[in-house]
Amino acid sequence: MKRYLSVISLEEALDLIERSFSFVPGTETVPIDAAAGRITASPIIGRFSVPEIHLSAMDGIAVRSADTVGASEQRPVRITDAVRVNTGNVIPPGYDAVVMIEDVWEEEGGYTIRRSVSPWQHVRPVGEDIGESEMVVPSLHRIRPPDIGALAAYGIAEVEVLSVRVGLIPTGSELVPVGTRPPPGKVVESNTLAAAAWLGQLGARCRRYGIVPDEYDRIREAVLQGAAENDLLLVSAGSSAGTRDYTADVIRELGEVLAHGVGIRPGKPVIIGRIDGKPVIGLPGYPLAALTILREIVVPLLGRFGLPQPPKERVSARLTTSLYSDIGTDEFVLLSVGRIGGRWVAVPQSRGAGVQMSAVRSNAYMRIGADSEGTAAGEEISAVLGVPLSAAEEALLITGSHDPALDYLADLARKTGIDLHSTHVGSMGGLLALKKRECHAAPMHLLAPDGSYNTHYLRRYLPDADLVLLCIADRQQGVVSRDGITFREIPDHRFVNRQKGSGTRMLLDHLLQREGISPSSIPGYEREMTTHLAVALAVKTGEADAGLCVYSAAHALGLAFVPVGTERYELAMHRESLDDPRIASLVETVASDAFRQALLDLGGYEVAETGVLRGLQE
Amino acid sequence: MKRYLSVISLEEALDLIERSFSFVPGTETVPIDAAAGRITASPIIGRFSVPEIHLSAMDGIAVRSADTVGASEQRPVRITDAVRVNTGNVIPPGYDAVVMIEDVWEEEGGYTIRRSVSPWQHVRPVGEDIGESEMVVPSLHRIRPPDIGALAAYGIAEVEVLSVRVGLIPTGSELVPVGTRPPPGKVVESNTLAAAAWLGQLGARCRRYGIVPDEYDRIREAVLQGAAENDLLLVSAGSSAGTRDYTADVIRELGEVLAHGVGIRPGKPVIIGRIDGKPVIGLPGYPLAALTILREIVVPLLGRFGLPQPPKERVSARLTTSLYSDIGTDEFVLLSVGRIGGRWVAVPQSRGAGVQMSAVRSNAYMRIGADSEGTAAGEEISAVLGVPLSAAEEALLITGSHDPALDYLADLARKTGIDLHSTHVGSMGGLLALKKRECHAAPMHLLAPDGSYNTHYLRRYLPDADLVLLCIADRQQGVVSRDGITFREIPDHRFVNRQKGSGTRMLLDHLLQREGISPSSIPGYEREMTTHLAVALAVKTGEADAGLCVYSAAHALGLAFVPVGTERYELAMHRESLDDPRIASLVETVASDAFRQALLDLGGYEVAETGVLRGLQE
């Protein structure tokens, strides 16, 4: 089996890149109206003065200032030699000032003015804005919209800008192009799409080549072409040590492999190569590994070509979950950060490199340095924002039990400018997050022995907290199956369970006890899923025959559903958080007709109590 | 004369806008690879689960986990029923785990493994990333590049996004299109170019119409079409009270004028109108007035349509110059901000609404509220950054005497990642800014009675400071004219002078005294310009016959130049600032061959001393 011969550190990789290439960007000429965000390749010099001739700065009359001496409200002065001018009109030769129209009475054969003017008053002199031959902007200036207006005004119709040509070659026999439904075991080629969108935003000129199957000669041909036609070539995947990973061998044949394997996670299998003096990067195939390599290696590489680096805005945040990491590896973890009270809190996303939803859901990331074994829950970490700070301020962290209704709540909440970040850790997990004040609200459905919901456990675990509960809905739970299995029939079928601490698991155990069914009699009782939809999916794919979930999950996948009862699904919050305008807005959204309608459309929810807010002591 | 009937406050204007329109954005469908930065118009639902079938998460062999029980380094286990899989391959039915290839020896007829695996270990289960029917992103989500990868992977080939159609009609008989050399009194139409670039970046779909001359019927026709074809119409200029300002009348005929005149500066003549229920904004004609109205009124208006507002990053900065403002007017002032030591300093740019270079040179702006008469020098103000914070950190404030060489220094400095912001206040102005630590470096050429340069005045005005002087060059000053006037001939010609406190003015007065020429004998001695180029321009246009300036300014405009001598043009700095890596980099750039060559190319500089750093006591 092939192995990585040597793994270098991220820092060494960046040093290696800096040493190994000359980074001479190309340039291209673009029309001025397409230049926003581009980087000037050379200084831009004004073609003519603006204004080129003295202009009136006001509506009024052009005069000789000497003629106006002494004019005032009390002693108006009559002027016979003057010319009516509007703002922007040329001052005719011989005149050296303008009296504003407000201070002028027009009369037969002349004007009377009630204010004197000094020489050149209300005149825009030649070159006031810019003089002929003056430099408007230097090289390596990022062109902003106001620059475009100025440059156009100074006679610049097109500008020479940096142009880094980036080629992207997707390789892999498992890939189908976007817009094609992938058959089982195939996937949509999406990594070069995301990369092109990203690098394009930074000013690179990206070209995506067609998908190349895992055949050495075809990859070789594509890389040869891509290296010839671009300043930087990215080869997507084929960089691991699998039996059909040819990228490194191809780069070695056409040039040289400078490094294969970097101590970075996700993204370790990255290749840094050189063909004809140009950088060729082999990206790992897992989407989040590819994104990490883009951000940590490719974007800085483009910076060496002169493209500006995106700003890294940071907040100091308290980490909610311990993260372990290997010494010698720089690890990057996606986060959902939100401000709770005066403090930022960071919830790590799934670290699976194939889970693209982690990137969609996250609004920040953190780095665990190569010299660290990890970061403990409760420590302050430095989170780099992936959105503007103002957008991060809109984030509400919703941690607890999962329900599809939360996504529809998030959709409606966006319209009020807030951004729900849901983390699915089960009802008990939410309760503990609320106790540690690591979430804004905890969705839960915890059945107590007395048949009540939520209040029992909250009183027990947060005895001193002043809490409120906001009802999302009374929702149906039931047995999901392909063919209508009832609760009592569960022991005869392959089951798929929910994780310990989830309300659904607690409901199951409660029902099993009531019905006198032993967990050990249920095949699959130990197979745990973390969401309703995962349970329904396991049933749909035939991996299991039955599970317990909400109606909407069963309905979405077209499966049979036999109700076992309704339960009160509520958002628990600290009462003081109702003072937070974002929470107040969320409460309003839950109580809205639009949300009630969304629940009815999903199905399986009773909405009579939706939006009801109760205190814990009531 | 027409007047504004009533001026409302900026706050009232924003309220009026909020009340007067329904803000229903259009939508359009764009391919996923063109969706970066766009705003989703509806929630996006995954088309299928990812993965849709259990996949191997590793290179290895797919096994029944039960077969591996007890396997270890010491006790390898032989497996006969297994299938070789690479990362991403489908796990064949019947298998429930993967043993990593590192723990496998392939043998005739089977494998030996040295590690056991638990059920579903190293397997990416169905729906691990996303389940069929799950919401990927809600409405009103700004699509980021990683979202594009995820959406493509989940089967989304195109997305419905908000589309606010913005029409831009430039009006004015003085306008010529970009790319045309304007004859005297005409100007390039640049306001709608800058507006389209700006609003386009925020996600609006902008359409620029052709230039319409100042004719009522033609403006009427264009506005009618523009209002019909767009969600928002911007009519550029014709909004003042001049004799040919028809915009308000046209809007009144076709709909209604809700407000004409807002207490904002620059930008007071703005019109807020409504035609067929749609907002029609009459932009003022001065470029900086138009930009201010775009930023303070039009961008928030687009926000009401659902387009995200650009983040407003702020720093608290010390204002270097007192700014007076009218009560009742919200005034916006462009700034150059830079960090000096640990503190931000804000230098106001020219407030002339026609000076587009103020926008080009500025990296921030401030607001003086309607309830304030202004802000005094030395006060802390809140500066809103127009560039990322990291870019603002690169700014070096260079305040003092003007020389074209500074622009070429700025151009070279960009390559080392620093951003020179020059403010031209003359040598004495720079000296005072240095004393107050309101600039990083002060360029100066102050001739002392003993014939020495700069040290005399620095010792006198900053007796306790530990200063250093970095030589830019020994540069020629001389008499600029169209036909070779000498210094002694000045009294016979119309002269144009420099402002008091400038080194050139001090040089002139020194030379006049030496030659026994009385200032009162010089016609035009009282006409003051603030830059070398302005002096040369006045000579070129025939407004004056002679002036004193540097060679490069005369040369750039093709004028005659009779040298009167060289002077030492230096950058004065506090010695401690040499520890600032940005200053260290600037010192290196001044000493570079490239800068010396730039000076020689400009002409009129002796470069033997260029880059020499001297202490004040030496």
Let me know the angle formed at the C-alpha of B582 by B578 and B587, rounded to the nearest 5 degrees.
Answer: 60
List chain B residues with pLDDT less than 70.
1-6, 240-243, 617-618
Q: For tokens 């996504």, name the residue.
A: A407
Residues of A in contact with B127 (CB under 8 A): 533-534, 537
What is the rounded CA–CA span in Å between residue A469 and residue A441?
Answer: 9
pLDDT digits (tens, 9 = 90+) for A13-38: 999 999 999 999 899 999 999 999 99
3-state secondary structure of B287: helix
Cα–Cα distances in Å, from B86 out to A170, A272, B60, B229? 18, 23, 6, 55
The reply to whether A20 and A108 lie within a common domain is: no
Interchain contact B530–A (C-beta under 8 A): no
What is the rounded CA–CA span in Å between residue B393 and residue B371?
Answer: 31
The reply to whether B66 and B213 lie within a common domain is: no
Please provide the size of chain A in residues.
618
Mean pLDDT of A402-413: 95
The reply to whether A331 and A451 lie within a common domain is: no
The reply to whether A287 and A199 lie within a common domain is: yes
* CA distance to partner chain A, nearest, from residue B157 (Å): 5
Asked if residues B51 and B124 have their Cβ atoms less than 8 Å apart, the reply is: yes
Last residue of a domain, one of B107, B124, B141: B124
pLDDT digits (tens, 9 = 90+) for A211-239: 999 999 999 999 999 999 999 999 998 77
Last residue of a domain, one of A304, A333, A362: A304
**Would the CB atoms of B411 and A139 count as touching at under 8 Å?**
yes
Domain-embedded: residue B137 = no
- Reported ipTM: 0.91
Whole-number pLDDT of residue B36: 93
Number of domains in chain B: 4
Domain-embedded: residue B599 = yes
The CATH number for A85's domain is 2.170.190.11
**Residue of A180, A357, A394 to mutate for B, most B C-beta atoms under 10 A:** A357
Domain-embedded: residue A509 = yes
Q: A70: exposed, middle or buried (C-beta count within 10 Å: 0-12, 13-18, 19+)?
A: exposed
Domain-embedded: residue B143 = no
The reply to whether A245 and A294 lie within a common domain is: yes
The reply to whether A463 and A585 lie within a common domain is: yes
* CA distance to partner chain B, nearest, from residue A456 (Å): 32
Whole-number pLDDT of residue A243: 64
The reply to whether A450 and A596 lie within a common domain is: yes
What is the rounded CA–CA span in Å between residue B618 and residue B614?
Answer: 7
pLDDT band for A351, please (50, 70, 90 cuts).
confident
**Residue of B2, B30, B33 to mutate for A, most A C-beta atoms under 10 A:** B33
Number of H helices, E strands in chain A: 17, 38
The CATH number for A362's domain is 2.40.340.10
pLDDT digits (tens, 9 = 90+) for B331-380: 999 999 999 989 999 999 988 888 999 999 999 999 999 999 999 999 99
Show the beta-strand stretches assigned E in A7-79: 8-9, 26-31, 44-45, 55-56, 60-63, 77-79
Whole-number pLDDT of residue B453: 95
The CATH number for B257's domain is 3.40.980.10
B548: nearest Cα among B484, B512, B495, B510? B495
Last residue of a domain, one of A273, A304, A335: A304
Which of A58 and A250 is assigned the larger pLDDT? A250
**Would the CB atoms of B389 and A313 count as touching at under 8 Å?**
yes
**The pTM is what?**
0.88
Domain-embedded: residue A150 = no
Domain-embedded: residue B195 = yes
Whole-number pLDDT of residue B2: 47
The reply to whether A72 and A107 lie within a common domain is: yes
pLDDT digits (tens, 9 = 90+) for A192-206: 999 999 999 998 999
What percent of chain A clears pLDDT 70, i.e. is strictly above it? 98
Interchain contact A150–B (C-beta under 8 A): yes
The reply to whether A379 and A240 lie within a common domain is: no
The reply to whether B485 and B589 lie within a common domain is: yes
pLDDT band for A530, please (50, 70, 90 cuts).
confident
Domain-embedded: residue B50 = no
Residues of A in contact with B124 (CB under 8 A): 352, 354
Work out the number of other CB atoms within 10 angstroms of the CB of residue A230. 24
The reply to whether A319 and A297 lie within a common domain is: no
3-state secondary structure of A234: strand
The reply to whether B526 and B558 lie within a common domain is: yes
Domain-embedded: residue B260 = yes
* Residue B3: both structure tokens together: 């007047």
Whole-number pLDDT of residue A1: 38
Range of the domain at A365: 315-393
Mean pLDDT of A447-469: 94
